[in-house]
Each structure stands twice: as C-alpha cells, then as structure tokens.
Structure 1
Amino acid sequence: MTRMRADLLLMAVSIIWGTAFIAQKHANEAMGPISFVGARFLVSWVALAPLAFYEHSKKAQPPLRKEDLGLAGLIGLCLFVASALQQSGLVTTTATNGGFLTALYVIFVPFIVWIITGAKPRLVVLTAIVVCVAGAWLLTEQGHFQGLTAGDALVLIADIAWAAGISLVPVFLARADRPFFLAFAQYGLAAVCGVVAGLSFEPLSQEGLAMAFPAILYAGVCSGGIAFTLQIFAQKYTPPAEAALIMSLESVFAALSGAALLAERLTGPAILGCVLILLGVVLVEAGPAMRKVQLRSYLRKLA
C-alpha cells in the first residue's frame, strides 16, 4: 500500500467517525455511556472474529510474543479509556465544547511519539497542528467556548488516551504485522471492560437497549469494525502525527453531518474553521510530496 492510499483510508475513517458522533449522542439518551461502549465494541469484536481467525491461520505468521500481547492489551485499554471518557463526557458537555476538545488529541500525538521513540516532531507537523486547532476553535459557536462542565474535563482526558493509542499502533505493527489481531484484541478488551463496568454501575433496560440498538450497530460495525480497523492498516504507512491530523477531519465531517441530518446551521466562522482544518491536512501532506519531488530532482542530476 502506498502512503497516498493509506492517507485516503484515514480520510474515510474521519468520515465514518464524524457521522458516528450523531449516533453516540443518540445512544446516551437511551442507555448508560459505559454500557454503550461495551455493547458497541462487542459488535466490533464479533465482526472482526472471522478476519482475525483467517490471519491467525496463515502458516507464515510467526507466533506472538508475550510483549506483543501486552502491547496489544495496552492499546485496547487506551481504546476503552478514551471511548468511555468521551462517551461519558458527551452526557454533560455541549456539542460546541465537545467538538473542539475532541480535536485537541492532535496536539498530544507528536509529543507522545517523541517520548516513545525519541523522534522529534517536524516543524511542518507542528504548524499544521496549530492551523487545525484554530480551525476546530472556529467550528465552535462562532469561536465562543460555553460554560465548562465535568464532561469537558472527561473529553480532554480522553484525548490523551486517544493520542496514546494512535502512537502505539505503529509500534505494535513494527513488532508483529498482525493488524486484524490487534483490532480483534482491542475490541475484545474494550467490550469486556465496558460490559462489566456498565452492568456494575449503570441501569440497563430492554427498552433502552432496543432504542439504542441502531446506534450500537452503526458504531459497532462502521465506526468500530470498519473505521478503527482501517486506521490500524493505514498507520503502517502513515506516521502517527500525520495520521492524527488527517483523522482530525472528523470534526469537519461531524459539522457537515450535523448540518445535513440535524438541520444545524454552519456559520461563516465554522466554514472558515473547516477550511483551516483542510489546510492543516494539506500542509502535512505536502511534506512527503515535496520530498519525493526533491528526490527525483536529485536523481535526475546524478543521471
């Protein structure tokens, strides 16, 4: 797979996640947030089981080591913590605050990668991050942050867990080229944690479960089974910081889907915010393209 195809996969991921925001808000009206997280990833786990089994059955695959299993478990824990905190935060935070705060995970990724690998973030990446965050700010209600709630803090803490998971995925793939196993393992861990915690601390009724079922199915199959798995595949070819910036388009597609499905009005500043986020993604994409041009020019001179 080329870098360009991987980036296009990440853009598809951002589209799915952006539209899933509506399903997540709807689910909170019918059932507890942690129970919803457990249910959605249970669906994702079942959906990935055949592909994980097929991958495991390949004779050429080397066996997984204990450290590989431990790393997959850590990534799964990041997924559960991030999803649970974000979903819980959506109960009390406004869409205005939640949309902006969720986009802030792009800030943490390059620095977590720096801590893990020692690779310093490139200037173009840091510039693109500033542009994207400015765009996310304008996607709020004319750039005005509404009153802070406990939900805002949960969404912000979730950003750290999202960033940690994104940063660790390529580390796992470098050790063990088992993307379906990683997806299957993290969905299973998130499902078990969510179901156990949800049944322990949240009320659950058959009526509420039935009301939330369409949201569970969409989040489980599309947002989880498809989007998170595509993210893992794409991150084998796209560095974490750049991947996070491309996936920050989620906020743009969330705004567009809100306008299309919920009749929400996109203000002038919000449209400018969408443009800035797109500009940030273009900036980070321009880096590899420029390096290819320079390399070709250098090779021609040598010839």
Structure 2
Amino acid sequence: MKRWQADAALLATALLWGGAFVAQREVESVMPPLTFVAARFVISAVALAPFAAFEARRAARPLDARSRRMAIAIALTLFIGSILQQVGLATTTATNGGFLTACYVVLVPVAVWLLTGRLPRSIVAVACLLSIGGAWLLANGGGPAQPLTVGDGLILLSDVAWAFGIALTPMFLARQPRPFTLAFLEYAVCGACAAGAAAAFEPVRAADFVAGLGPLLYAGIISGGVAFTMQIVAQAYAPPAEAALILSLESVFAAVAGAILLAERLSVIATVGCALILASVLMVELGAPLLARLRSGAARGPAAPARAPAAPRAEPRLRLP
C-alpha cells in the first residue's frame, strides 16, 4: 500500500466512524453501554474470523510471545476506550462529548514519545493544536463549554486509551505484518471482556438487542469490522501522529451526519471549526512534504551536487519488558 492509499483508507475510516456516532446516540436509550460494546465487537470478531484464519494459514511464522502480549495490550486499549467512551457519552452533553473525544489527537504524539522516545515533528504538533481548536469550535459553537461532569472525565480517560492503541498498532505490524489477525484478536478480547462486565453489572435482555439491531449492526460490521480493520491495515504505512490527524476528521463527519440524519443544525462557527480540522490535516499531508523539499533545495544551493539518499533509520524499539 502506498502512502496516499493509506491516507485514503484512514479518511474512509473517519467517515464511517463519524456515522457511528449517530448509531451510538440512537442506541443509548434502548441498550446498556456495556452490553452494546460487547455485542458490537462480538459481531466484528465473527465478521473478521475467516480473514484472520486465511491470513494465519499464509503467515510465514506463528505469533511469538512478545507479539501476543502486544496484541492483548492493544485489545485492552480498545476495550477500555470503548467502555469509557460509551458510558461517558451517556452521562455528558453532546457538546462536551464531541470536543473531548477529539482530544486523543494531541495525546498520540505523547504516547509515541513515551513508547519510543521519538519526538513529533514541529508541524505535526502545530497541526494537532489546530485540530483541537477546530474541535472546540465545532463542539461548543464558539461559546463557553458546559460544566464538566463525570462523563467528561471518562471520555478524557478513553482518549488516553485510544492514543496508546494508535501508537502501539504500527509497532505490532512491524513485527508481524498480520493486520486481520490483530483486528480479530482486538475484537475477540474486547467483546469477551465487555460481555463479562455486562453480565456482572447490567441486565441483559433479548428485547434490547431487537430494539437496537440497526445501530448495532452498523457499529459491529461497518464501524468495527470494516472501519477499525481499515485503520489497522493503513497504520502499517502511516505514522501514528499523522494517522490520528486524519482520523480526527471523524468529528467533522459526525457533525455532517448529525445534520443530515438527526436534523442537527451546523452553525457558522461550527463550520469554521470543521475547516480548521481539515486545514490541520492538509498542513501535514501537503505542507510537510513541501517544507522538506524547500529545506532540501536551500541546503544544496544551486550548484551543489545531489546527495545520496540517507540510509533508512532503524525502527525504534518499544519500551516495554
């Protein structure tokens, strides 16, 4: 996969995730949050099982112990992030929830730095801050935020889980280029953990699944089976911080989907917020390569001979035992 193809897959992921926000809001009144998370990821695991089995048969070697530990760690970030986000969305305003969910964008470079020691490029850091500013305008319409609640804190904690999951994914794929296997393990572990939690803390009723069948199928097959898997595949070819910026367009697509499907009005200030998020993505996708070429030309000078390409840098090792 070429870089532009990976970016296109991440863009499609953000589009499908944006639609999932509508599904999640629709299901809040008919299904408890733990039950919803369990059901959606069990559906995703079943959908991915044939692809993971085919990939396993073609793999050059089985998963080693370190790769299995990394896969479980990534699966736990998905479980923690999904549970905290779903519970938080049920106990906070849509205004606060929409903004706080986007905050994982600035946490991904921090997670990459903690895990690998690699600092983000300055243009990425600026773009992340620009994206957060756009998310604030989109969520709050330029006005004051609603008072913070417990749900807001839960969503902030979910952002930490999302950030580490995005940072860990390319590290796993560098060791084991098996995206369908990773996706299946994530869904299976997350679904099993959520099912256990739902059985312990929530009433499980068949009528809830019938009432929420439409949103559940969208979240399980489209948002989970398709979109999450596309994200994992694409992250083998896109740096984590840049990937997070493209995925931040999820909030833009969620606003558009809400306006179309839920008749929510998008104000002028919220539209400016959408534009800022888009500008942050374009800054990295178009501005960074242009800046690199300008610096390269300035360093050579008009008469300087072309330099030989630099040797590729070794992939930084994960700072885990």
- Common topology (TM > 0.5): yes
Matched with 1:147 is 147
Matched with 2:315 is none
3-state SS of 1:302 partner: coil
Q: Provide the identity percentage.
A: 50
Paired amino acid for 1:38: A
Relative to its length, the structure with more helix (as a share) is: 1
Deviation at 1:204, TM superposition (A): 2.0
Paired amino acid for 2:21: F
Structure 2 residue 53 is the aligned partner of structure 1 residue 53 = yes
Distance 1:295 1:63, change over 3 A: farther
Matched with 2:104 is 105
Please say if residues 96 and 146 of structure 2, whose CA atoms lie closer than 8 Å, have aligned partners that are also in contact.
yes
Matched with 1:204 is 204
CA distance in 2, matches of 1:76, 1:229: 13
Matched with 1:233 is 233
Distance 1:29 1:236, change over 3 A: same
What CA deviation, in whole Å up to 9, does each residue of 1:163-184 have, x standing for no partner? Answer: 0100000110111111110000
Deviation at 1:205, TM superposition (A): 1.6
Deviation at 1:5, TM superposition (A): 0.9
CA distance in 2, matches of 1:120, 1:180: 29
CA distance in 2, matches of 1:61, 1:231: 23
Q: CA RMSD in A?
A: 1.8
Matched with 1:128 is 127
Matched with 1:193 is 193
Larger deviation, residues 230-239 vs 141-150: 141-150
Please say if residues 123 and 288 of structure 2, whose CA atoms lie closer than 8 Å, have aligned partners that are also in contact.
no
Matched with 1:71 is 70
Larger deviation, residues 61-70 vs 36-45: 61-70
Deviation at 1:291, TM superposition (A): 6.2
What CA deviation, in whole Å up to 9, does each residue of 1:71-122 have, x standing for no partner? Answer: 0000000000000000000111111100000000011100110111111111
The normalised TM-score by structure 1 is: 0.96
3-state SS of 1:61 partner: coil
Matched with 1:94 is 93
Matched with 2:2 is 2
Matched with 2:311 is none
CA distance in 2, matches of 1:195, 1:26: 21
3-state SS of 1:139 partner: helix
Distance 1:114 1:69, change over 3 A: same
What CA deviation, in whole Å up to 9, does each residue of 1:48-72 have, x standing for no partner? Answer: 00100000111x5212101100100
Alignment of 1:1-303 (within 5 A): 1-58=1-58, 60-143=59-142, 144-290=144-290, 293=293, 302=306
Larger deviation, residues 146-155 vs 276-285: 146-155
What CA deviation, in whole Å up to 9, does each residue of 1:8-63 have, x standing for no partner? Answer: 110000000001001111111111101100000000000000100000111x5212
CA distance in 2, matches of 1:170, 1:291: 25
Paired amino acid for 2:92: T
3-state SS of 1:246 partner: helix
CA distance in 2, matches of 1:210, 1:200: 21
What CA deviation, in whole Å up to 9, does each residue of 1:156-206 have, x standing for no partner? Answer: 100000001000001101111111100000000000011111111011222
The alignment covers a number of residue pairs equal to 302
Larger deviation, residues 265-274 vs 195-204: 195-204
